[in-house]
A and B are shown apart, each in its own frame.
Chain A
Amino acid sequence: MENATMNRAMFKRRLGKTAKYTMLLILALIIIFPFVLGLWTSFLPSMDIAKGALWSSHLSLNNYVAAFTQTKILQYLLNSLIISTLVMFAHVFFCSLGAYAFVFLKFKYRDQLFYAVLATMMLPFEAEVIPNFVTVKCLGLLNHYSVMVIPFLTSAFGIFMLRQAFLQIPRDLKEAADVDGLNHWQFYWRVTLPYAKISLFTLAAYSFLGSWNQYLWPMLTTFSDHLRPVQDGLRQLQSEETFNDWDMIQASAAIVVIPTLIVLFIGQHYFKSGLNEGAVK
């Protein structure tokens, strides 16, 4: 009798779990399908794609070879790498300084200023494009690496995110540091940054990807191939040809995605929780 009840409870629990995971699996498949399809077609010749013969046996790396040899994808990759890396470091540095001030310094109108920073997040990027374009044009920055870096040196979201992270730092640590005689710069460098390491890596990954995926702004402000970042380069591949080499475009797209995956893969290693346990109590 007891056994039967127990078995029934066990069965119910198993059933619930199975249903949950089946659901998750289906959702995951739906989400991942376009990516798999894209990757798959990047190995197929153009003819097969055009015919819709997806179950082709003509799989090869030819498209990748073609992408590297016939297009300027390496140049695009290099451009994007330079721009994204600069933007990433700038974000981490300037946002953390800004956030530090909002958390650890006391000054008049501090909170109001912070809300003003937050308010800028309300404005969509598209609304800023025209004034920004006029500004960089007046500065004579058009068609240059700097035009893709300078307007993006800091971000309201980054300041907001790091402020929240810095608020988690126990006040006692600041007081202990005061007694130890650390000045603000030392406390920022030796305590705040290591303590908020996880958030800094998260912001770095986010900024890098954000910059890597920029499309509209570089398209407006750069005119030569040797400056274009990858996303605009991809677009270029498509329109330059009268007949679209879908196979090669797919291969290029796959190449462009790879750095994204690497960043996420390295990043998630740091998203482990519990790194800061043991500071207090």
Chain B
Amino acid sequence: MGIELQGITKTYDSKQAPVLSDINAEIQDGELFVIVGPSGCGKSTLLRMIAGIIPISAGVLKINGQVMNGVSPKDRNLSMVFQSYALYPFLTVADNVAFGLKARKMAPAEIEQRVNDALSMVDLTEYRDRKPRALSGGQRQRVALARAIASDSKICLMDEPLSNLDAQLRVQMRAEIRELQRKLNLTLIYVTHDQTEAMTMADHVMVLHDQQVQQIASPLTIYNQPANSFVAQFFGTPQINLLTANTAGTQASPRLTMTNELQLDLDKPLAAGTYTVGIRPNALSCRPVADDDGNATVINVETLGDQTIIEAVLDDDTEVRIVEAGQVHVALAQRVLVTALGPAFIFDETDTLIAEKRGLQDARVVAVN
């Protein structure tokens, strides 16, 4: 059962290119499904099509096996949390939560019960008689959540619900939403532009870009086996390094060379040609060398305490990011020798993943072993 998207397409103007084309996905009952992508990729549009707020141009949407195209939002039996919370400013917290239930003509006793349950679940019982303007941002967010909880629908759609909160509160609410979703066994479709939210919350992630689905997989699969260079770039902080590489010699070879001293030996030979190599920052290592040596110059160092992010410019003018564990002291403008530790993704000219090399991510792990 669950929700099925079959070839969903959205075109606003028949003369223009579609804003979403041919989206296929299957969302299981009770899972937290995250739709992630950069702003403007159409993720909110997709969510609004599932909700029924905007019509679907082509394709089929099924909820629990029934075709939902053209069914009005209220008959799709789902709840929605908006980025802006969309609270009614002239109603108290309790009335805000009860609003949708009253509109659906539920019995007053049951409304009361549901409102109380929902408010206690988000710890807002003592604020029930306040107006939204007397609440903090986090509390308003909770009211919006309570509204979704109170409705009896098992499908909940959330449109960037945390993007207006400060960083700390966001981390806290992330965990709370996840917990609520599990407790209520909700099918939750969650839209965000934040890859951290996608990684930490999702059962499955859909990556949208260029009006199309780039990959649908579990968060770890997306991190470990990105379908293409966009996905690789979108997930992981700091961003993955994408470097242009050539095979050594004129024949198929397992050796890829990026700049002189930065090279990679693959398990299997590749046909001769030019490729894009993705190496995560923690799979690169750098070592300070004498001024006329090495292959890169340090341009920025960020110390986070438990790790150090070093930005350097390779001699062919590509910037690379390197993450070293612990606190590493490197001076700006220091010459360094950047080497690859092993793991890397190889993308062909269409940016599709064609090979990957597994291996130790950090030489220090070897030392411990």
Task: Mark contacts of B128-147 with chain A using CB atoms, 8 A cut-off: 1 yes-contact digit, 0 otherwise.
Answer: 00011111010010000000
Minimum CB–CB distance for B178 against chain A, Å: 22
Q: Is A186 an interface residue (CB 8 A)?
A: yes
Nearest residue in B to A277 (C-beta to C-beta)?
A: B133
Report the nearest A residue to B148, measured CB to CB: A179
* Contact between chains at B85 and A281 (CB < 8 Å): yes
Which of A175, A180, A194, A279 meets B132, CB within 8 Å?
A279
Q: Which residue of chain B has its CB nearest to the CB of A187? A: B103
Cβ of B53 and Cβ of A182 under 8 Å apart?
Answer: no
Inter-subunit contact A281/B86 (CB<8 Å): no
Measured CB to CB, the closest approach of chain A to B295, in angstroms, equals 48
- Residues in A whose Cβ lies below 8 Å from that of B86: 170, 172-173, 175-176, 279-280
Contact with A along B66-99 (1 / 0, CB 8 A): 0000001111001110111111111100000001
A64 to chain B, nearest CB (A): 42
Q: In the complex the two chains form, is A279's CB within 8 Å of B103's CB?
A: no
Residues of B within 8 A of A191 (CB): 88
Q: Pick from B90, B103, B164: contact of A181, CB below 8 A.
A: B103
A280-B80 CB under 8 A given contacts A179-B73, A180-B74, A181-B74:
no
B364 at the interface (CB under 8 A from A): no
**Are B131 and A278 closer than 8 Å at their CB atoms?**
yes
Taken together as a complex, chains A and B put the C-alpha atoms of A175 and B86 apart, in Å, by 9
Please tell me if the beta carbons of B53 and A175 are within 8 angstroms of each other in the complex. yes
* Residues of chain A lying within 8 A (CB to CB) of residue B89: 195, 275-279
User: A275 — which chain B residues lie within 8 A by C-beta?
Assistant: 89-90
Interface string of B106-140 (1 = CB under 8 A from A): 00000000000000000000000001111101001
Contact flags (1/0) for A152-183 with B, using CB distance below 8 Å?
00000000000000000010110111111110
Q: What residues on A are CB-neighbors of B53 within 8 Å?
A: 175, 178-179
Measured between alpha carbons, how far is A195 from B75 in the docked complex, in Å? 26
User: Which residues on the A side are within 8 Å of B87 (C-beta)?
Assistant: 278-280
Q: Which of B72, B80, B91, B140 contacts A176 (CB 8 A)?
A: B80
Taking residues whose C-beta sits less than 8 angstroms from the other chain, chain B's interface range is: 20 to 34
Q: What per-residue 1/0 map shows which CB atoms of B23-59 lie under 8 Å from chain A?
A: 0000000000000000000000000100111000000
Which chain A residue shows the least CB distance to B140?
A: A278
Contacts of B164 in A (CB 8 A): 281
Cβ contacts under 8 Å, B74 to chain A: 178-181
Hey, which chain A residues are within 8 Å of B79, CB to CB?
A: 179
Q: Which of A175, A180, A281 contacts B99 (CB 8 A)?
A: A180
Q: Would you call B103 and A280 a contact (CB within 8 A)?
A: no
How far does the Cβ of A244 sit from chain B's closest Cβ, in whole Å? 52
* Min CB–CB distance A114 → chain B (angstroms): 22
Does B100 count as interface, using CB distance less than 8 angstroms? yes
A274 on the B face (CB < 8 A): yes
B15 on interface, CB distance cutoff 8 Å: no
Contacts of A280 in B (CB 8 A): 82, 84-87
**Distance A173 CA – B80 CA, assembled complex (angstroms):** 11
Contact partners of B135 in chain A: CB under 8 A: 278
B91 to chain A: closest residue by CB:
A194
Given contacts A275-B89, A280-B84, contact A181 B100 (CB under 8 A): yes
CB-defined contacts of B133 to chain A, threshold 8 Å: 274, 276-278
Within A72-114, the residues touching B (CB, 8 Å) are none
CB distance from A183 to the nearest CB of B (A): 9
Which of chain A's residues 179-221 have a Cβ closer than 8 Å to chain B?
A: 179-182, 186, 190-191, 194-195, 197
Taking a contact as CB atoms under 8 Å apart, the answer to whether A175 and B90 are in contact is: no
Confirm or deny: B329 has a beta carbon within 8 angstroms of a beta carbon on chain A. no
- A179 pairs with B51, CB closer than 8 A: yes
B222 → chain A closest CB, angstroms = 30
Q: Within residues 196 to 241 of chain B, which ones have a CB less than 8 A from any CB in chain A?
A: none
Which A residues are in CB contact (< 8 Å) with B75? 181
Q: What are 25 sample pairs from A and B whose C-beta atoms fall under 8 A apart?
A: A172-B82, A172-B83, A172-B85, A175-B48, A175-B53, A176-B82, A177-B103, A178-B52, A178-B73, A180-B103, A180-B104, A181-B75, A186-B103, A190-B103, A275-B90, A277-B132, A278-B87, A278-B89, A278-B131, A279-B84, A279-B87, A280-B82, A280-B84, A281-B85, A281-B137
Closest 6 CB pairs of A and B: A181-B74, A278-B132, A278-B133, A280-B84, A180-B100, A172-B86
